[in-house]
Structure 1
């Protein structure tokens, strides 16, 4: 059985595992390197995947974290007590692991691993999308130079990340992603696009999301006002509710369905990936799937500390639950990944920002930390002050690429990489930069943890692999915490209250009533 439930013996085993972890010694990073000459070999590993030129891959180096043999063994015991293997098998087999909503979480089926019927359905939906993408590229729907992609949450973050990362050398179709209900966001897309050569993609799992549908209606008005005779003929619907899309007015030949069991923040692998395929080509989208599949295979077939997403989760839990870290920073030393921290914010905090277990019991201890970050070297001249000398411990992930994304003087990339590696070294080593080594204002305590993912290049396969790695890392954290990472009821309460206001109802506190009145929104 994958579902732990409330069996007494399992709860005792989990509690004992946590007790053992919390009782361990906490040597410094310097002491850990001194004590184990083979530390780098134990905590740094390479994973390969199909790349744009034969094979690509990355080094995953967790040696500058406080993991050691004893900590890893204790967390492996926790993983066993939490039935990690059983829950992983349930996830990858298409079982109803999303217990609060009674359904599966089948994003890996989009990449070829899952229930046979779900994998086949995903392949059929991909084929349907491929045909439409090819037809548009061949001009079957007229000249299309722009796509306004309208969605929110995962329906927008995934495509926006991929387009920004992969279309820097030019796009087959210019994609403008709009998520915010603020009209300025939509007007910005209108200003960049020519209505005569623009299509609109409406991405909504239910085809009822108020922000998305309001923006979609305004996009249709814009097309009509600018001389497009049949605005609905320019719309592609990406949805798990195709009937609603057709009812709304989209021709069924331009409805790209995906399964109800694919969650929003995991959906770029499905028909939600349409703007990626249209913008940078089907080959790039297919390469993303291949890179993710390689990580899926590793995650499925590798046990214990050798499982890289699980190992990362061990470190995450060490810092959050044992050392009391409330945040985790992610800095991409590559402009192509500048949106990656934004993507991870939703993936990690919407998934694991929970307060009860999958049995509805209060979680003992902290769950997800706050994920934040940015790009290097910008961050070094801003927030890194806190990382080096602040009073809080913040684990940092660095992501970099051996191959540059630019064609300028190689000095640019060399400076970028040396700064990335130097930051991790400085966080660990610390020191004092004053002439006599005694000025406390120039002292750095060191012993501050970081991990580094060093990629061969940032191509489509690598982007897919990086996203899949973090998906599985997020799931592994959820298993160790005993929570369900696949629901997101926390986003619903504010939406309900907003609807109450729109309907002229709701009983609100004096502050909210005053704000509504000041904004001219009260009845």
Structure 2
């Protein structure tokens, strides 16, 4: 039976009435004064991670939110009213919850172990297929990293043809590594060639780019294989810039496109193929330097590729980094670390499935977001990772969240006009953001609920300067400052400046922390946000797994493309036609 609109749900109307009556007057400073145990009541710690080396434990502190026990209970009641648990069970049992495409949603299967309970779709345990592809990926990664997979010349891809200068540089580089006690062992054990001369170029777009690109950067410290570069933009400068820095003899291209027809990806792939053959002049060499992540074998073979990794239509692009789409990650970080990434997500999958709603991390984050976005009307949300390796996480989550829940129709086709669905999500790595947009967070007229993400374990200091302590001090200080504000500037401040040094405070934040950033905790973190998105979509009653909104622009672009070559004339508004005319006049 179809759910009523959220705005017609009795629990939602209670929440709206509560906010209008008392919620808008709530002050976090007073809430902390009234309850010394507030942190204990409004935080969750997951301290049973499988191995201490995996970066546990995990902490979510949501005490700096404008919620009371009464509000929190109503939010939990709302989750039950919106049949969240039934929808969650349907996803885990391979129900076709992507209703507009009649598909199951099974990214959870991508990180399952082969001995986990079966996930049956159309009479088949999908974990068997997932395991088969993971085994294929493992062998391929090991062959490439260990030099079993060779380039078109028959040499190991990690072999070098060094000039005298490079030989001297190599000796200096290895001498520095071997005398530096603080550098992680992986750096010592990695060949010079793998670090400096052997590259993977991943050509994809959307989920075939954002996820693996973000994870590869996040796991830079764990590099044991070839450095991964990523090309997504059809703007030729993106591909050209990467090709300037690679050698065709020691480069492996990964073409990531399920249909092998994605316009931007195939344009870049054909250009990379053309560049490669101009250097090599041997079509048969394609098979040694190009592999595909696709289901369209005829198109792949026509391209000249003989090695293909499969994935499935029950996995949406923005949830696909756990599949063969993560091949670039597994090559750079090693398959063992890729497996730990999957295990971290699997740990969170089990937590999301089994933990009670009031202690369920993705559920809590999602409900707070609904409270702010749909009840109060704050339309924006910031993700602020205090680790430079996670600098691409906000961009990755933009696609995951905004493409999933940027919807205005319910599952039954009702138009949504009376409440907000997906928020505008944005952010940047701290502390850079503090010198950019935090001014608006602290003193602007808009309230932006924010997630602060950090890692407790100290990294190596440089020249005795405690960089990590400075970083963590800022991470701790910002949520505190956003909450307490400065409502009574010092009497020593001139009266005319006091309005400018007034900080209203009472601005909500979550703090998310683990011991350290590892493949396992990264997998846990990403899966946490995936399930948060699912929960919010369930409450809003939207399909979080289609993306029809991206289609119209693509269709119009295909129609306009021949017009830009002067081959056709379209029927456009005066603005669009004026832009086309300007390009025709000035673009040649």
Tell me whether the two structures share a fold, i.e. TM-score over 0.5: yes
C-alpha distance after superposition, 1:312-370 (max 9, x if no partner): 01110111012211111111111111111111100110000001111111123101111
Query: What is the CA–CA distance in structure 2 between the aligned matches of 1:263 and 1:164, rounded to whole Å?
Result: 22
Higher mean C-alpha displacement, 164-173 vs 131-140: 164-173
C-alpha distance after superposition, 1:274-321 (max 9, x if no partner): 000011100110000000000000000012221110110111011101
Matches within 5 A, 1:26-425: 26=23, 27-48=26-47, 49-50=49-50, 53=53, 56-112=56-112, 115-116=119-120, 117-142=125-150, 143-144=156-157, 145-168=198-221, 170-227=223-280, 229=282, 230-233=284-287, 234-251=289-306, 254-363=307-416, 364-408=418-462, 409=464, 411-425=466-480
Equivalent residue for 1:501, pick from 548, 560, 584: 560
1:506 Cα deviation from its structure 2 partner: 4.2
Give the TM-score taking structure 2 as reference length.
Answer: 0.84
Query: What is the CA–CA distance in structure 2 between the aligned matches of 1:385 and 1:243, rounded to whole Å?
Result: 54
Match of 2:253, SS? strand
1:77 Cα deviation from its structure 2 partner: 1.4
Match of 1:341, SS? helix
Q: Check conservation: 2:54, 2:519, Cα contact below 8 A.
A: no
Match of 1:451, SS? strand
Query: What is the CA–CA distance in structure 1 between the aligned matches of 2:76 and 2:261, rounded to whole Å?
Result: 43
Q: Check conservation: 1:14, 1:81, Cα contact below 8 A.
A: no
Query: What is the CA–CA distance in structure 1 between the aligned matches of 2:570 and 2:265, rounded to whole Å?
Result: 24
2:9 is the alignment partner of 1:15: yes
C-alpha distance after superposition, 1:204-258 (max 9, x if no partner): 122110000000001111111112623421111012334432343321xx10001
1:51 Cα deviation from its structure 2 partner: 5.1
Query: What is the CA–CA distance in structure 1 between the aligned matches of 2:371 and 2:285, rounded to whole Å?
Result: 54
1:32 Cα deviation from its structure 2 partner: 1.9
2:575 is the alignment partner of 1:511: yes
Q: Check conservation: 1:207, 1:213, Cα contact below 8 A.
A: yes
Query: What is the CA–CA distance in structure 2 between the aligned matches of 1:74 and 1:15, rounded to whole Å?
Result: 12
- Please provide the CA RMSD for this pair: 2.0
C-alpha distance after superposition, 1:155-209 (max 9, x if no partner): 1011111111112464410111111111111112112211111110000122110
Q: Check conservation: 2:481, 2:505, Cα contact below 8 A.
A: yes
Equivalent residue for 2:513, pick from 427, 434, 454: 454
Match of 1:371, SS? strand
C-alpha distance after superposition, 1:10-55 (max 9, x if no partner): 6699610101111223111112222333221121111243457266
Match of 1:23, SS? helix
Q: Check conservation: 1:51, 1:287, Cα contact below 8 A.
A: no
Instruction: Give 1 or 2 for the bigger CA radius of gyration.
Output: 2
Query: What is the CA–CA distance in structure 1 between the aligned matches of 2:357 and 2:322, rounded to whole Å?
Result: 27
Q: Check conservation: 1:94, 1:115, Cα contact below 8 A.
A: yes
1:507 Cα deviation from its structure 2 partner: 2.4
Match of 2:320, SS? helix
Classify 1:82/1:240 alpha carbon distance in 2 versus 1 (closer, same or farther; 3 Å): farther
Query: What is the CA–CA distance in structure 2 between the aligned matches of 1:487 and 1:505, rounded to whole Å?
Result: 33
Classify 1:5/1:258 alpha carbon distance in 2 versus 1 (closer, same or farther; 3 Å): same
Classify 1:54/1:129 alpha carbon distance in 2 versus 1 (closer, same or farther; 3 Å): closer
Aligned to 1:476: 535
1:100 Cα deviation from its structure 2 partner: 0.7
2:529 is the alignment partner of 1:463: no
Query: What is the CA–CA distance in structure 2 between the aligned matches of 1:93 and 1:14, rounded to whole Å?
Result: 29
Aligned to 2:170: none
Q: Please, which runs of 5 or more residues in structure 1 have no aligned partner?
A: none
Query: What is the CA–CA distance in structure 2 between the aligned matches of 1:294 and 1:505, rounded to whole Å?
Result: 56
Query: What is the CA–CA distance in structure 2 between the aligned matches of 1:478 and 1:298, rounded to whole Å?
Result: 19
Query: What is the CA–CA distance in structure 2 between the aligned matches of 1:505 and 1:295, rounded to whole Å?
Result: 53
Q: Check conservation: 1:52, 1:461, Cα contact below 8 A.
A: no
Higher mean C-alpha displacement, 13-22 vs 78-87: 13-22
Higher mean C-alpha displacement, 511-520 vs 239-248: 239-248
Query: What is the CA–CA distance in structure 1 between the aligned matches of 2:455 and 2:272, rounded to whole Å?
Result: 38
Give the TM-score taking structure 1 as reference length.
Answer: 0.94
Query: What is the CA–CA distance in structure 1 between the aligned matches of 2:396 and 2:352, rounded to whole Å?
Result: 21
Q: Check conservation: 2:375, 2:419, Cα contact below 8 A.
A: no
